[in-house]
Structure 1
Amino acid sequence: MSISYELSGRTRQKQRTRSALVAAARDLVTRGQTPTVDAAAATASISRTTAYRYFPNQRALLVAAHPEIEASSLLPEAAPSDVAARLDAVVMAFLHLIVDTEAQQRTMLRLSLDPDPGNRSELPLRKGRAIGWIGEALSPLRGVMSERDLRRLIFAIRSAAGIEALVWLTDIAGLSRKDAVQLMRWSAGALLRSALADAGVVGHQVRPPRRAKASSRRRSSS
């Protein structure tokens, strides 16, 4: 359905209808099904004709049914300054999110394997939000290691922790979800320790850089 249709006339009713279809699709996914527009319409007690006005095909419905993660950060409010503790907090929050929405994550992973690049570009799994979250956790390393090495570390951690790794560890390696999460957590920490060793950093007590304004105040008062 076009956005202009949603925004024209009786917008609240249309939003409720759309939300009902999305909720129905998510419910079907959690039951282990890959919902069609027809199935979502039947579950939501909405006519097929109406449903197709909102979602012209199954793909559009599945993308809409993916959990919306608007958080710009996964760090706790009182974020630790130690880089290892920061990374562990973010990785665990990310992994709990993946496990809690595993059915939807698996559906999106399947869609991301579409051979047509045009069909993959707008998928939530392709937005790179996890890269941003991990990058924020590792921000104290800026200036400690090169941007190239830091980016490589971020990518390495993301490749070791996420729905892709969870699928392999549970479906192929046969681990329980609890053990899979702990292994991904360990892998992230091991990658960080290796990168710190390569950079010649002793220990993990790498603090965030001080703000320039605060530094200038200290210099002027000395």
Structure 2
Amino acid sequence: MSTDRAARRPSPRERTQRLLEEAARDLLRSGAPLTVQAAAELAGVSRATAYRYFPSNEAVVMHATMPLVADADQQLEVPDAASEADPAADLPDQASALVRSMGTWAFDHENELRTLLRLSLAPERAGTSPRRGNTNRGRWIAQLLEGLPDHVSPASRERLAVALVPLFGADAVVWSADIAQVDRDTALDVMAWMAAALVRATVDGDA
């Protein structure tokens, strides 16, 4: 039994890594700077030790965002996220349910998404890496578009994919809350309606 317990007990290195990863996630949630120094201070380790696990600030961002992306993927798997548990559901209704579900998730993680968006728009990051505030919306949209009927042309599919982009992730929160200045419930209603309208227009337009 003591051997089993020893085998399950994390090593000092594993404990330090876990502390730093938790610190990175806490920094992301609070909107604090995602830097090696900040993670080290929050985890209670020296900066030299932190650099052995996080060789750069970008590594801190990566470890902070991995659970966020995984959580978004888990949200996508709930029955009503794409089709309300009915694979034969009308595609506009599927789009509406998907956008509402992921919009709810985005508002629940508003601080994290805003931090990622702010980082991605920083001048020193321009042209160096893709935006990180959108999680996996490209995959969500691609899965939705798989349900389009065969008569929809490739050009229309591409146009729809682009039109759906602002309904996911940080962009959805920013334009609805900051620019349109509507409350969360209104924003979700509008985004769900927009998704259904866009899909319906695409299907009917190519009919």
TM-score higher than 0.5 here?
Answer: yes
Q: Report the CA distance between 1:45 and its aligned residue.
A: 1.6
- Which of 182, 196, 221 is the aligned partner of 2:203? 196
Q: Report the CA distance between 1:12 and its aligned residue.
A: 5.2
Q: 2:76 corresponds to which residue?
A: 74
1:149 to 1:103, Cα distance in 2 relative to 1, 3 A: same
Please give the alpha-carbon distance, in whole angstroms, between the structure 2 residues aligned to 1:126 and 1:147. 24
Greater Rg by CA: 1
Q: 1:143 corresponds to which residue?
A: 150
Q: 1:210 corresponds to which residue?
A: none
Q: 2:3 corresponds to which residue?
A: none
User: Does the CA-based 8 Å contact 1:75-1:90 persist in structure 2?
Assistant: no
Q: 1:49 corresponds to which residue?
A: 48
User: Does the CA-based 8 Å contact 1:79-1:86 persist in structure 2?
Assistant: no
Q: 1:119 corresponds to which residue?
A: 128
Aligned residues between the structures: 188
1:75 to 1:26, Cα distance in 2 relative to 1, 3 A: closer
Please give the alpha-carbon distance, in whole angstroms, between the structure 1 residues aligned to 2:155 and 2:12. 50
1:18-167 mapped onto 2 (5 Å cutoff): 18-66=17-65, 67-69=68-70, 71=73, 74=76, 76-77=78-79, 78-81=85-88, 82-114=90-122, 116=125, 119-121=128-130, 124-125=132-133, 129-167=136-174
1:147 to 1:12, Cα distance in 2 relative to 1, 3 A: farther
Gaps of 5+ in 2: 1-9, 80-84
User: Does the CA-based 8 Å contact 1:131-1:155 persist in structure 2?
Assistant: no
User: Does the CA-based 8 Å contact 2:92-2:197 persist in structure 1?
Assistant: no
Give deviations 1:79-112, integer Å, cap 9, x for gaps.
4322122212321222122122222211221222
Please give the alpha-carbon distance, in whole angstroms, between the structure 2 residues aligned to 1:75 and 1:25. 26
The code of the aligned residue for 1:61 comes to: V
TM-score normalised to structure 2 length: 0.76
1:89 to 1:173, Cα distance in 2 relative to 1, 3 A: closer
The code of the aligned residue for 2:62 comes to: V
TM-score normalised to structure 1 length: 0.71
Identity of aligned residues (%): 35
Q: Report the CA distance between 1:72 and its aligned residue.
A: 8.6
CA RMSD in angstroms comes to: 2.7
Moved more, 182-191 or 11-20: 11-20
